[in-house]
Chain A
Amino acid sequence: MSSIAAAVPGRTRKNRTWIYFLLPSVAIMLLFFVYPILLTFFYSFTNLALTGESAKELKFIGIDNYTHMFKDPTVRTGIWNTIVFLLGSAVIGQQVLGFLIALLMKRKNKTFRRIIGTVVLAGWVTPEIVCALCLYSFFGDEGTLNAILGFVGAKGIAWLYTMPMFTVILANIWHGTAFSMLVFQAALDDVPSEIEEAAVVDGASRWQILIRITIPYIKDSITTNMMLVTLQTLGVFGLIYAMTGGGPGTATTTLPIFMYNQAFVNYQLGYGTAISLLLLLIGIVLSLFYIRSMKS
Chain B
Amino acid sequence: MKRMKRKHAVRMVPYAILAAIGLCFVLPLLWVLVASVDPNAMQTLKMPSRLTGGNYASVLSDGGNQRAFAIGLLMSLGQAVLVVLLALLAAYPLSRYQLKYKKPFMLTVLFMTSLPITAVMVPVYQLFLSLKLYDNVFGVVLFYVASSMPYGIWMLKNFLDAVPADLEEAAWVDGASVFAGIRKVVAPLMVPGICTVAIFTFSGSWGNFFVPYILLQSPGNFPASLKLYQFFGQYGMADYGKLAAFSVMYAMPSIVLYVLSQRFMSKGFGLQGGTKG
A272 touches B122 (CB 8 A): yes
CB proximity of B117 to chain A, nearest CB, Å: 6
List, in ascending order, chain B residues with CB within 8 A of A174's CB.
24-25, 28
A116 CB–B CB distance under 8 Å: yes
List, in ascending order, chain A residues with CB within 8 A of B15's CB.
108-109, 112
List, in ascending order, chain B residues with CB within 8 A of A238's CB.
209-210, 213, 225, 229
CA distance A147 to B126 in the complex (A): 46
Q: A39 and B118 in contact (CB under 8 A), knowing A22-B89, A29-B149?
A: no
A129 CB–B CB distance under 8 Å: yes
CB proximity of A123 to chain B, nearest CB, Å: 6
Question: Hey, what's the 0/1 contact readout for B234-269 against A, CB within 8 Å counting as 1?
Answer: 000100100110010011001100100000000000
Question: Hey, what's the 0/1 contact readout for A252-283 against B, CB within 8 Å counting as 1?
Answer: 00001001100110000100110011011001
Complex partner residue of A112 from B18, B29, B121, B153, CB under 8 angstroms: B18
CB proximity of A48 to chain B, nearest CB, Å: 7
A36 touches B120 (CB 8 A): yes
CB proximity of B211 to chain A, nearest CB, Å: 10
B86 CB–A CB distance under 8 Å: yes
Q: A276 and B123 in contact (CB under 8 A), knowing A142-B42, A237-B118?
A: yes
A128 touches B44 (CB 8 A): no
List, in ascending order, chain A residues with CB within 8 A of B1's CB.
none
B49-57, B61-69, B95-103, B183-191: which lies at the interface: B95-103
Sampled A-B contacts (12; CB under 8 Å): A4-B169, A11-B97, A33-B146, A36-B120, A129-B250, A130-B251, A133-B32, A142-B44, A256-B210, A259-B122, A276-B121, A290-B114
A276 touches B25 (CB 8 A): no
CB proximity of A109 to chain B, nearest CB, Å: 8
B29 touches A127 (CB 8 A): no
A122 touches B18 (CB 8 A): no
B147 CB–A CB distance under 8 Å: yes
